[in-house]
Amino acid sequence: MFWPTKKDIKAALEVFALFQWALSAFVIVTSVILVNLYLVVFTSYWFVTVLLLIWLAFDWKTPERGGRRFTCVRRWCLWKHYCNYFPIKILKTHDISPSHNYILACHPHGLLSHSCFGHFATDTSGFSKTFPGITPYMLTLGAFFWVPLFREYVMSTGACSVSQSSMDFLLTRKGTGNMLVVVVGGLAECRYSIPGSTTLVLKNRYGFVRTALRHGTSLIPAYVFGETDLYDQYIFTPGGFINRFQEWFQKMIHIYPCAFYGRGFTKNSRGLLPYSQPVTTVVGEPLLLPKIENPSQEIVAKYHTLYIDALRKLFDQHKTKFGISETQELVIV
């Protein structure tokens, strides 16, 4: 009779933790929509849907007002298995004082930002011990907060909207010791997420710098070594039908549809699981910025350049530790 070993159980829990998070969006969103359609069309309980919509309207601004985090959710043992799958690690290069607020710009996005979620949306990766007194707020697309129940699940991890009003609120109305985590490249960076890639979408991303200047908030560069190595991606012939569709789709809704794959459940098989290999987020030194309420484009461009220089320096100082050639450099597009 086959009895699973502790190693087998550990691996199964890690895979479950990954799939649970990845599929929760689909399952919860689909269930909410179908159940409410059923209530409205086939039953006399349509008022339940009306009450739900009233609550949604009443609570609409919460993701832009600090969200609604639950420490118990952030400390689920499930997230520990999530982080151990790769494993996800964090490396501190400088102390960060809890007497100030910060904007941490994380690069690269990768395909699913596994490291960003593990460190900043859970409390099981060691972040709170590495940076005591710092409260991370992972900022994400407002679309994640459109559907009842799912928005509560997302907010429970400490996530908030990445809108301007949300950032202004967190930097002015929540005291100090707050770290706003922004994945600057966003979904546009997915197309460059292939093993060995060091290409970042950053050249024309000025918004986070302008916000930091308006509030006099320090910028912290962070680079995630290994994030782009978690999946392979089919690269279609430039100018071909599929490639032209990808380009058209990106122009229409600013999302680049990728055909990616990782490992499967069996050895040497393909599937949607990310490859199990270390992913390390290196957090750099805070870049001090002056407070300028209405910075000109020239001022924003100046500090944007200083930020890129700091990010390049951070990358160059640590790249060889993570298997990247000494001659390989960041590519900013």
The DSSP 8-state label assigned to residue 121 in this structure reads S
Compute the distance between CA of residue 63 and CA of residue 41 in angstroms, rounded to an integer: 30
The pLDDT of residue 2 is 65
Per-residue pLDDT band at 10 (split at 50, 70, 90): confident
The pLDDT of residue 51 is 93
Domain that holds residue 109: 62-231+274-332
The pLDDT of residue 299 is 95
Beta bridge pairs of residue 200: 332
Any domain includes 293? yes
Any domain includes 257? no
- Average the pLDDT over 70-95 and give the result: 93
Any domain includes 13? no
Torsions phi, psi for 91 (to 5 deg): -125, 120
Per-residue pLDDT at 302 exceeds 90: yes
The DSSP 8-state label assigned to residue 21 in this structure reads H
Q: Considering its fold, how many domains does the chain have in total?
A: 1
Any domain includes 88? yes
Percent of the residues in the chain that have a pLDDT greater than 90, as a whole number: 66
Per-residue pLDDT at 1 exceeds 60: no
CATH number at residue 198: 3.40.1130.10
- Judged by DSSP in three states, 136 sits in strand
Any domain includes 136? yes
CA-nearest of 79, 75, 82 to 273 is 82
Per-residue pLDDT at 99 exceeds 90: yes
Q: Whole-structure pTM over 0.85, yes or no?
A: yes
CA-nearest of 84, 286, 291, 279 to 172 is 291
The pLDDT of residue 214 is 95
Q: For all residues of the chain together, what is the average pLDDT? A: 91
Per-residue pLDDT at 267 exceeds 80: no
The pLDDT of residue 264 is 83
Per-residue pLDDT at 18 exceeds 90: no
More confident of the two residues 53 and 259:
53
